[in-house]
Structure formats: structure tokens, C-alpha cells
């Protein structure tokens, strides 16, 4: 399962030992470019190079038609390769051995956060969002929280994003055991000591693996 498909995602998959045919499903949390512009290339590889025929692509229900239009505008005919499936906040979907629960994120466009349950383990992915009490409830007592940390200051909130403090706050309030910070570009987030006792905090780097 791939959570969001930003630019150059296919190259990243190959570089780290994966191929497109390893994927069974993709979740697009929203249609901003850094979360979706790698999908056309991924589906092109699925159709012409790896002959994938059963990829399921989940996206906010109100964004599915725009996602379809994007793919067709850039010349990607995904017929027979992928199925676009709309999901709504409050819904849940069974995907193989996983159960996905969706919640609305606080962002300028329709956007989702999600929880993944499998074999008694729980992972929550914030997607792009400002601080959101609904996300705290979604992540309650989860094993791993993957939370965006787009900015160092409160001005991140002006654009529907979170800073490091927001991510740590959600982890603490939800009782999550591990926190991975993602969605930073040029500047690595600054972790201010002391961190809350009992919370493990990680910075995401390409190829990083974490075992639960």
C-alpha cells in the first residue's frame, strides 16, 4: 500500500528495491501536487511496463472526477489498470488484510487522514492538516503516528499545515507510542528537548524502515 504519490515516486520505489507491481492499492489523501503528481507516471508504468491490472486508488469522494481529469489531461489511460474509488470521512474500507478508517483533515481542499489496522496493530497517517481534535480521536492508543511537520512556526496553520509542536501534541494527546515526522522539504524539523517521556520520535528519510 502506498500512501500518497508525490513527484518522482516511481523512481523512489525502484531505488529502494520495490516495483510498481508490488503495489495493490494507493491512497491519495488530497489533490495537491506533492501528493498526486507521481500517480500518472505510476499508472503509466503499471500499464506499459509491468502489466499491473488490479490497482485500487482511493481518494476523497468529491475529488475522484478531478483525479480522473488530471490523468486524462496528461495522457494516461488507466483503463484495465486501476480503479478510482471515492471514500468519505467517517467511512472504513477493507483492503486485503488491512482495514482503513478515514477522517476529514483540516486543509484548504478536501483532504483525508486515515488509520490502518492489521493484525492488532494500528498506524495513523495525518496527511496534510492543521491541528485536528478528530485526528487525536482517530489515533487513540495507536502504535505509530505518521504526522506532517511542514513548518517551524504557527504560520503553518495559515495554510492548513502543522508544525513539530502540533505533531507532538497529537501524539501525546492520542497516546500514540511512536511518531514519525514527514512532509518537510528544505529544512529538517527542529526537535526541542525534552520530548515527552515514553514517546519515540523519528525523522523520516528516504528508505527508512521502522518495525512495529
Q: For residue 38, what pLDDT is reported?
A: 98
Based on the structure, what is the number of domains in the chain? 2
Q: Give residue 193's pLDDT.
A: 66
Does 188 share its domain with 116? yes
Q: Is 36 part of a structural domain of the chain? A: yes
pLDDT of residue 189: 77
Is there a single domain that holds both residue 111 and residue 196? Answer: yes
Grouping H, G, I as helix, E, B as strand and the rest as coil, residue 24 is coil
Domain-located, residue 125: yes
> What stretches of 37-81 adopt beta strand conformation (E)?
55-60
Residue that terminates a domain, selected from 52, 87, 122: 87
Instruction: Collect all residues with Cβ–Cβ distance below 8 Å to 146 and sequence separation of at least 6.
Output: 3, 123, 124, 125, 126, 180, 182, 204
Range of the domain at 63: 1-87
CATH number at residue 169: 3.60.15.10
Parts of the chain with a pLDDT under 70: 152, 193
- Does the residue 115 lie in any domain? yes
Question: Are 82 and 98 within one domain?
Answer: no
Amino acid at each position: 500500500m502506498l500512501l500518497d504519490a508525490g513527484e518522482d515516486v516511481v523512481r523512489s520505489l525502484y531505488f529502494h528495491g520495490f516495483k510498481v507491481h508490488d503495489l495493490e492499492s494507493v491512497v491519495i489523501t488530497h489533490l495537491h501536487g506533492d501528493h498526486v503528481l507521481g500517480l500518472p507516471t505510476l499508472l503509466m508504468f503499471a500499464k506499459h511496463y509491468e502489466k499491473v491490472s488490479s490497482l485500487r486508488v482511493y481518494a476523497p469522494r468529491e475529488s475522484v472526477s478531478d483525479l480522473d481529469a488530471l490523468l486524462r489531461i496528461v495522457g494516461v489511460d488507466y483503463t484495465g489498470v486501476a480503479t478510482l474509488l471515492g471514500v468519505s470521512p467517517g467511512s472504513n474500507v477493507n483492503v486485503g488484510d488491512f482495514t482503513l478508517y478515514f477522517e476529514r483533515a483540516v486543509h484548504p481542499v478536501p483532504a483525508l487522514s486515515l488509520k490502518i489496522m492489521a493484525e492488532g496493530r494500528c498506524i495513523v497517517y495525518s496527511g496534510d492538516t492543521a491541528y485536528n481534535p478528530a485526528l487525536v480521536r482517530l489515533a487513540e492508543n495507536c502504535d505509530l503516528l505518521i504526522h506532517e511537520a511542514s513548518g517551524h512556526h504557527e504560520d503553518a496553520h495559515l495554510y492548513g499545515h502543522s508544525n513539530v509542536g502540533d505533531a507532538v501534541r497529537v501524539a501525546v494527546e492520542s497516546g500514540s507510542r511512536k511518531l514519525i515526522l514527514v512532509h518537510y522539504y528544505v529544512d529538517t524539523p527542529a526537535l526541542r528537548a525534552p520530548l515527552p517521556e515514553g514517546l519515540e520520535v523519528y525523522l523520516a528519510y528516504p528508505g527508512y524502515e521502522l518495525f512495529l
